Structure 1
Amino acid sequence: MTGNIVARRYAKALFALAKKAGSKAPAEYGKDLEAFASVLEASPALLKVFANPVIAAEHKKAVLAGVVAKLSLKPIVANFLSLLADKERLSFVLEVSAYYRTLLDESEGVLRGQLVTAYALSEPRQDQIKSKLEKQSGKKLVLSFAVDSAILGGVLLKVGDKVLDASLRAQLEILKEQIKRGE
């Protein structure tokens, strides 16, 4: 939980800097931060190096400089990551990136979600569902689609912290519970 608090503070600080830098800066900084986070996700050994308290901050910064150079990150983002290295907080970069994305979505009025169905939906059907949900929510929706045959039918919609389980499996579970209770 401490890591989450730390990640939120650093994400908010970078986001505040980005808002002062201009209207396009928050999205640009977010892309850079996500690019760095994806490198760390792809290379768990690199994440272990940054999380290891035995390794000196200077060595971490040298490794960081190499990664930053290959990704050609914006100077502010590179300095931010260097600050995280100085403060021994590079191990929180993934959480910082995730929370920064949340802040960016909130400022742009974007909702992220996932729609799970029992079978794959066609592109026109996906677009139709997405536009209908955007109309109902009044916000731009970034929706990913997944297939899970275990739900048997219907849909499972997750948007933000809300879940709408209208799957056949969930309905059968409810019916099963009602039968057990004798209702």
Structure 2
Amino acid sequence: MSRAAIRYAKAVLDQANEANISEVVFGDMKSVEATLAGSKELRNVLQSPVIKGEDKKQALLKIFEGNSEVTKGLIQILTSNKRINLLGGVASSFINLYNDSKGVKTAHVTTAVPLSAELENQVLAKVKEMTGSENVTIINKVDESILGGFILRVGDLQYNASIANQLGNLKREFSKSL
């Protein structure tokens, strides 16, 4: 996350808190983040130096027309400051800042296959053990190279229970004993 994106996100959160609509803007930012994550074309448009800022702004305002005035204001400010390419980073930073302010911990879980309910409960238990927090959001990323198990990251804490990691540990043990 760039420092500029974090600064914009803090300003938007302050503005949303003042207007008593931080929950609404949180929903907007999740929508912005998901839309950008799901559309390579839109990300390319925002990064393109060829497309005029005004065209980018009009497209975004049309896409997010159902969102709050705070979110539309963010799009306008980013466009006028020629920083519209930061929109995704601002949305992600806003989500993190909002969650922090509400005491919600975000756990990034990497698994070889999509999380089952049973594995999700194991992960939640581990997060509670690591952080002491009951309020947890899980973001699952699938990476087949870990073979099985999971890698859990909460803030700057990491717990690696992947089979690939365990095999690596075994390999190191064997090479030491030879």
Give the TM-score band, short-chain normalised: 0.7 to 0.9
CA distance in 2, matches of 1:119, 1:38: 21
Cα contact 1:156–1:167 (8 A) shared by 2: yes
| Residue in structure 1 matched with residue 9 of structure 2 by the alignment | 11
| Residue in structure 2 matched with residue 170 of structure 1 by the alignment | 165
| Residue in structure 1 matched with residue 154 of structure 2 by the alignment | 159
How many equivalent pairs are there? Answer: 177
| Aligned partner (choices 22, 26, 32) of residue 30 of structure 1 | 26
TM-score relative to the length of structure 2: 0.79
- CA shift at 1:170, angstroms? 1.9
Gaps of 5+ in 2: none
| Aligned partner (choices 126, 138, 142) of residue 137 of structure 2 | 142
The one-letter code sitting in structure 1 at the alignment partner of 2:131 is S
CA distance in 2, matches of 1:153, 1:110: 27
CA distance in 1, matches of 2:139, 2:147: 19
Cα contact 1:115–1:144 (8 A) shared by 2: yes
CA 1:175–1:99 in 2, change beyond 3 Å: closer, same or farther?
same
Gaps of 5+ in 1: none
SS at match of 1:31: helix
Q: Does 1:51 align with 2:47?
A: yes
The one-letter code sitting in structure 1 at the alignment partner of 2:52 is A
TM-score relative to the length of structure 1: 0.77
How well do the aligned residues superpose, as a CA RMSD in angstroms?
A: 2.9
CA 1:131–1:57 in 2, change beyond 3 Å: closer, same or farther?
same
CA 1:21–1:179 in 2, change beyond 3 Å: closer, same or farther?
same
